[in-house]
Chain A
Amino acid sequence: MTTTIIWTIAIISGLGLVLALTLYLVAQRFKVVEDPRIELVEKAMPGANCGGCGFAGCHAFAESAVKAPNLDNHFCPVGGNDTMKQVAAILGYEVKEKAPMVAVVRCNGTCENRPKVNEYDGSLSCRVKATLYSGDTGCSFGCLGCGDCVAACKFGALSMDPKTGLPVVDESKCTACGACAKACPKAIIELRKKGPRGMREYVSCVNKDKGPAAKKACAAACIGCGICVKTCTHGAIVLENNVAYIDPDKCKLCRECEAMCPTGAIHGVNFPKPLDKDAVKARIQERQKKAREAAAAASEAAKAAAGDPVVNKAEVKVIKKEESNG
């Protein structure tokens, strides 16, 4: 009996030893020699393998970053500047800091603002729906509400709000990897600079229809009236294809456009105080009145000087129109 036990133990131990040795030798023989920095860089990465950097995953990013002459084409949106600093330190490169970004849903076509005009009966996928037709509301540009972006998000930062039928971004979780923006067939989601303390101002609409059509489809649509463009004193807003866009680099977060927007298509988020629309409007009107007086005075002066009365007629007209709208 004892000998059996001893034999069993001996054979099993021996077998284990032989196998371990074989494994070790095989591992040595087929070891892949890799630049050790790749592993270091990969360790510094967030490891989400989200592909937000444009590479297949964190390892591919690390491989490419080690080979690259500088880090200009490599930026991990998930890890952000901290990660990139670490990577740069490992590789001895300079790193250019980038402003943190966040995904912004540019559609405010809630169930209330944008009533449904037909019933979609296909599979629950924005891509399928977008290929088929313009959507179950009157707006052919807005959110389709099937949640492709939610499915694309690897960080759980997106969710559908059952009340509005629109996706909601959880800013604390969003890494700006851009997966949602790629998944959205309507290109509604934009990666935007987070802004100071998260404060930012954006047009929450991408409807390119002319004003009346846009307004008919959705109460909160940008109708391309151009009031914001004229209100903005920083030249941050452009109006193209009947839809306004605020350049985050130029925007000074004065929120005047938001106050003036007739449909409420411009949104400001993370501001410490709610927007006092009337006060801002009054301020703007005061300023415009002054400007008008100044312009009138200038034109008087110009008329007196050169005798050309037509110069500012168009501008005056525009301002008058604005007043009637506001």
Chain B
Amino acid sequence: MARRTFSIGGVHPADSKISRDCKLEILPTPPVVYIAVSQHIGAPAVPVVAVGDKVKTGQVIAEPGGFMSAYIHSSVSGTVKSIGPRKDLSGNNQVVIEIAVEGDEWVDGIDRSDTLVTEIPQDPKAIIEKIKLGGVVGLGGATFPTHVKLSPPPGKKCEMLIINGCECEPYLTSDFRTLLEKGEQVVVGTAIIKKALGVDKATIAIEDNKPEAIDHISKVVETLKAKSADFAGIEVMSLMKKYPEGGEKQLIDAVMNRQVKSGGLPIDVGAVVDNVCTALAVYEAVQKNKPLIDNSVTVSGECFPHQANLVVRVGTPLKYIIDYLGGVPESAAKVISGGPMMGKAISNLEAASLKGTGGILFLTREQTKRMPESSCIRCGKCAEACPMGLEPFLLNRLAKAGKTDELEANAVQDCIMCGCCLYSCPAGIPLLDIISQARGQVMGIMKARAAAAKAAAEAAKAK
């Protein structure tokens, strides 16, 4: 049988999953944490604690600042030292709540035992409320508030829940370890999300470079299916390894053979995609009352001697994590938060981890330094690689000429910033740098136009 994968473009960077055999390890609590109020897409949360307050682990310290927002909980117990701007990993000021750690006292009602709770609540509304209170956000990278995703707009029906276990980024192994070591919890979490959405089918999609995970999860699903009807309809699907398989749109294409229309949402084609770590967070929030206060982080890189998969409290300074494993290696030239394809280069190691921090990666100068740009030889490798079927060479040219209408006609707004174009360009042209700028610009224009059209329609209505 042909291996399933998405239909357009894609690249095959070396796998480099060197930390795949490192078991999940709990990082000791740091002496101080800096918890940002904006750790998700949407409005920043509003702090509800004051300087000098004593907080416990799992206590709400900031409430949602709007519809699209999330609760933020203290990941440690201690005293709030300050609330104010602090430089984030890219050196820009973000509001953080600084908490000095004193002991580790948890809020009452959180079940910290390891027992697996397989009976799931039957009321979707109650589940979603619990997820909201748990501050769960998408841990696949976008940090989209999960309770918003699980409440599809009226009239849209979800047909399939896809749990994303692709982990298509090289180096990252935290999802893989989670699948292996907390597979039961992930599957129960999947069943909970399935229940919340009221959908019959759920697919846990795993790339075939992780055969152990596929085997393990398949076994877990079988066992649980035998136990309860709540697990019926959950399937495991093996996908061919190709980057960016874990991209939401690519995954829907690979699993369901459907494509989300430009500007549309997955729910338009009846799909909801959540990461395996999100499923785990949902399990913990719903079954154990444990809010999202820690997440698994892969620390890796060939030049980094102590690769690890750590469970890290949200707000832990990156430097603390790195120093715990022996400090920044001498030969490292770049430190990346996330994977090497879509991760963000860290310029400020004093910054703290966020809910969505999935990896800290060290690359050497040889591995990562960009080569000097030369002329485009029109080889079309960028267009071949683009998983959205765009033509980066053309978009680059149009962007440089500032032709926003032609950029829009050539679908620059569809770009998912996966980096395949720049990865594959033999001339080292910084395609994505330029295209992502143009994309922002065009999306701004489209938004303004939509707003103007809406205002005009309303004005016409008022008349």
Contact = CB atoms under 8 A, between A and B. Distances in A.
A24 interface: no
Given A121-B369, A127-B437, A134 B430 contact: no
B345 A132 contact: yes
A123 B369 contact: no
A307 interface: no
Given A133-B347, A134-B347, A128 B433 contact: yes
B93 interface: yes
A131 B439 CA distance: 12
Contacts of B348: 134
Interface in A121-140: 121-123, 125, 127-128, 131-136, 140
A122 B437 contact: no
A132 B434 contact: no
Contact of B347 (A118, A125, A127, A128): A118
A135 B91 CA distance: 8
A140 B92 contact: yes
B91 A122 contact: no
Nearest to A139: B91
Contacts of A136: 347
Contacts of A133: 90-92, 345, 347
A38 B369 CA distance: 54
Contacts of B434: 123, 125, 128
Interface residues of A, number: 15
B90 A134 contact: yes
A122 B430 contact: yes
Given A121-B370, A122-B430, A131 B91 contact: no
Nearest to B434: A123
A123 B90 contact: no
B430 to A, nearest CB: 4
B87 interface: yes
B436 interface: yes
Given A121-B370, A140-B87, A140-B92, A131 B345 contact: no
Contacts of B444: none
A16 B19 CA distance: 80
Contacts of B437: 125, 127-128, 131
A142 to B, nearest CB: 12
Contacts of B436: 128, 131
B211 interface: no
B103 interface: no
Contacts of A127: 437
Contacts of A131: 436-437, 440
Interface string B333-365: 010000000001101100000000000000000
Contacts of A123: 373, 430, 433-434
Interface in A100-153: 117-118, 121-123, 125, 127-128, 131-136, 140
Nearest to A137: B91
Contacts of B93: 140
Interface string A245-270: 00000000000000000000000000
A120 to B, nearest CB: 9
Nearest to A213: B87
Contacts of B91: 133-135, 140
Contacts of B370: 121-122
A276 to B, nearest CB: 39
A133 B344 CA distance: 9
Q: Return the 9 tightest CB-CB contacts between A and B, nearest first.
A: A134-B91, A133-B90, A123-B430, A123-B433, A128-B433, A118-B347, A133-B347, A134-B92, A140-B91
Given A128-B437, A134-B348, A140-B91, 7 more contacts: A121-B334, A121-B368, A122-B430, A123-B373, A128-B430, A131-B436, A140-B87
Interface of B: 87, 90-93, 334, 344-345, 347-348, 368-370, 373, 430, 433-434, 436-437, 440
27 contacts: A118-B347, A121-B368, A121-B370, A122-B370, A122-B433, A123-B373, A123-B430, A123-B433, A123-B434, A125-B433, A125-B434, A128-B433, A128-B434, A131-B436, A131-B440, A132-B344, A132-B345, A133-B92, A133-B347, A134-B87, A134-B91, A134-B348, A135-B91, A136-B347, A140-B87, A140-B92, A140-B93
